């Protein structure tokens, strides 16, 4: 199927990434369905987007007509069966292999032969997700970065079985959506999440050793290190649970390679429900969108 044949896009998971990806696809003119296992999440996500876009209209960055048209193209789905007509289904649900496998298995029974499947997984093997499918050749990774409407890079990931035309269609589609699309083979962490892992890991180790407070480490990496964000504020943005799940997955996938060992400090944040911006507290507290250094 060529990229021009993709009119209807379904996005599964109305969290941080799913909503952003749905916005990108709707902005590009597709009819988009957004589905979440929790319908309240879908409603809240769409309301949040409507508000965010209203703010852009108020600031003169978006025409009201364009806002209305974009929101009209993006509709909630009540159940998976409603996604039967989609030509492309992009999954952005929780980072767990068995959940993603189960989801695609259900979708295989619902969608047509031509439907392409994509996973926004940060670290799970596309080959492993595909192993659960009768036709794994139609599955690829389509890995956006957070926030999806802003970040330019998209990694298109081929598993062992991914068909070349599926890979090429997704590369072309992502470029049509204004992204810089890069192809990578499915290896643990793909490209960015593998290379960035030591940045998070070393920061967390420094914290565990009491080297300095999060605010100091972040400020130094920004001002002296030249990084746009320190690892503490960045993991708060990503979600401590998501970052921890990715670290654990990359660590295990490299046969317990010590360089990638997950951090007890981060595990404690996850156990405490301090997931970062999305929960109002992580390394920092967030009030009205502004971070406060935590004592
Ligand atoms: P999130 O926690 O914000 O949202 C996940 C959503 O999926 C939730 O609304 C949840 O209700 C829903 N969900 C869970 N199981 C489901 C199922 N079986 N069917 C339908 N909906 C289901 O997570 P986030 O951050 O959006 O991450 C989603 C995926 O994107 C993960 O695979 C993650 O690794 C990946 N990712 C995350 C990035 C980030 O910075 N947060 C960046 C790039 C990829």
Pairing of strands 290-293, 284-287: antiparallel
Residue nearest atom 31 in ligand 1 by C-alpha distance: 95
Answer yes or no: are the C-beta atoms of 135 and 147 closer than 8 Å: no
Determine phi and psi for 9, rounding to 5 degrees.
Answer: -120, 135
Pocket test for ligand 1, best of 13, 192, 231 (most atoms within 8 A of CB): 13
Is position 233 annotated as part of the catalytic site? no
Answer yes or no: are the C-beta atoms of 21 and 148 closer than 8 Å: yes
**Sign, CA torsion 250/256/260/261:** positive
For residue 122, report the distance from its CA to the centre of ligand 1, in Å: 10
Distance CA(250)–CA(3), nearest Å, equals 31
Quickly count helices (H) and strands (E) in the chain: 12, 10
Pocket test for ligand 1, best of 17, 234, 237 (most atoms within 8 A of CB): 17
Residue ranges per domain, the chain?
3-185, 196-293
For residue 71, report the distance from its CA to the centre of ligand 1, in Å: 21
* Tens-level pLDDT at each residue, the chain (295 residues): 677 789 999 999 999 999 999 999 999 999 999 999 999 999 999 999 999 999 999 999 999 999 999 999 999 999 999 999 999 999 999 999 999 999 999 999 999 999 999 999 998 999 999 999 999 999 999 999 999 999 999 999 999 999 999 999 999 999 999 999 999 999 999 999 999 999 999 999 999 999 999 999 999 999 999 999 999 999 999 999 999 999 999 999 999 999 999 999 999 999 999 999 999 999 999 986 566 544 3
Is ipTM over 0.95? yes
Q: Residues 193, 243, 249, 263: which is the catalytic one? A: 193
**CATH architecture of structural domain 196-293:** Orthogonal Bundle (1.10)
Which listed CATH number (3.90.1150.200, 3.40.50.720, 3.40.50.1860, 3.40.430.10) goes with 3-185? 3.40.50.720
Q: Per residue, what are the HEC states of 92-112?
A: CCCCCHHHHHHHHHHHHHHCC
Q: Residues 91, 143, 247, 249: which is the catalytic one? A: 143
For residue 8, report the distance from its CA to the centre of ligand 1, in Å: 21
Q: Enumerate residues 6+ apart whose C-beta is below 8 A from 170.
A: 116, 118, 140, 142, 156, 181
DSSP three-state, residue 269: helix
How far CA 3 is from CA of 99, 119, 124, 135, 166, in Å, comes to 28, 17, 25, 20, 9
Is position 122 annotated as part of the catalytic site? yes
Is position 143 annotated as part of the catalytic site? yes
Pocket test for ligand 1, best of 48, 76, 92 (most atoms within 8 A of CB): 92
Residue nearest atom 19 in ligand 1 by C-alpha distance: 37
Distance CA(226)–CA(246), nearest Å, equals 24
Is position 155 annotated as part of the catalytic site? yes
pLDDT at position 292 is 55
Dihedral through CA 120, CA 121, CA 123, CA 127, nearest 10? -100
Lining ligand 1 with CB less than 6 A are: 12-18, 36-38, 41, 92-95, 99, 103, 120-122, 144-146, 238-239, 242, 246
Best CA proximity match to 240, nearest among 269, 205, 198: 269
| DSSP per residue, 100-166 | HHHHHHHHHHHS-TT-EEEE--SSS-HHHHHTTSS-GGGEEEEEE-SSTTT--EEEEEE-TT--HHH
For residue 58, report the distance from its CA to the centre of ligand 1, in Å: 30
Answer yes or no: are the C-beta atoms of 274 and 281 closer than 8 Å: yes
**Sign, CA torsion 277/71/88/80:** positive
Distance CA(158)–CA(1), nearest Å, equals 17
Count of residues for the chain? 295
Residue nearest atom 30 in ligand 1 by C-alpha distance: 92
Distance CA(21)–CA(145), nearest Å, equals 10
Distance CA(236)–CA(146), nearest Å, equals 12
Q: Residues 125, 155, 243, 249: which is the catalytic one? A: 155
């Amino acid at each position: 199927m060529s990229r021009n044949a993709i009119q209807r896009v379904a996005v599964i998971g109305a969290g941080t990434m799913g909503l952003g990806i749905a916005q990108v696809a709707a902005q590009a003119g597709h009819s988009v369905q957004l589905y979440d296992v929790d319908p309240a999440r879908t409603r809240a996500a769409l309301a949040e987007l409507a508000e965010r876009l209203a703010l852009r209209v108020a600031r003169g960055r978006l025409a009201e007509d364009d806002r209305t048209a974009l929101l009209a193209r993006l509709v909630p789905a009540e159940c998976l069966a409603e996604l039967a007509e989609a030509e492309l289904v992009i999954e952005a649900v929780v980072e767990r292999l068995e959940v993603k496998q189960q989801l695609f298995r259900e979708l295989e029974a619902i969608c047509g032969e031509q439907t392409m499947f994509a996973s926004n997984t940060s670290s799970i093997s596309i080959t492993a997700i595909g192993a659960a499918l009768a036709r794994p050749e139609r599955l690829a990774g389509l890995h956006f970065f957070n926030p999806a409407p802003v970040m330019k890079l998209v990694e298109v990931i081929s598993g062992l079985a991914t068909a070349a035309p599926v890979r090429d269609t997704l590369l072309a589609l992502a470029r049509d959506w204004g992204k810089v699309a890069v192809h990578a083979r499915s290896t643990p962490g793909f490209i960015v999440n593998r290379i960035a892992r030591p940045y998070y890991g070393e920061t967390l180790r420094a914290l565990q050793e009491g080297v300095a407070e999060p605010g100091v480490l972040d400020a130094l990496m920004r001002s002296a290190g030249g990084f746009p964000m320190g690892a503490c504020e960045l993991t708060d943005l990503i979600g401590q649970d998501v970052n921890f799940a990715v670290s654990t997955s990359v660590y295990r996938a490299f046969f317990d390679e010590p360089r990638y060992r997950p951090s007890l400090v981060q595990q404690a944040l996850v156990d405490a429900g301090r997931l970062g911006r999305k929960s109002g507290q992580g390394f920092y507290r967030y009030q009205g969108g502004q971070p406060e250094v935590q004592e």
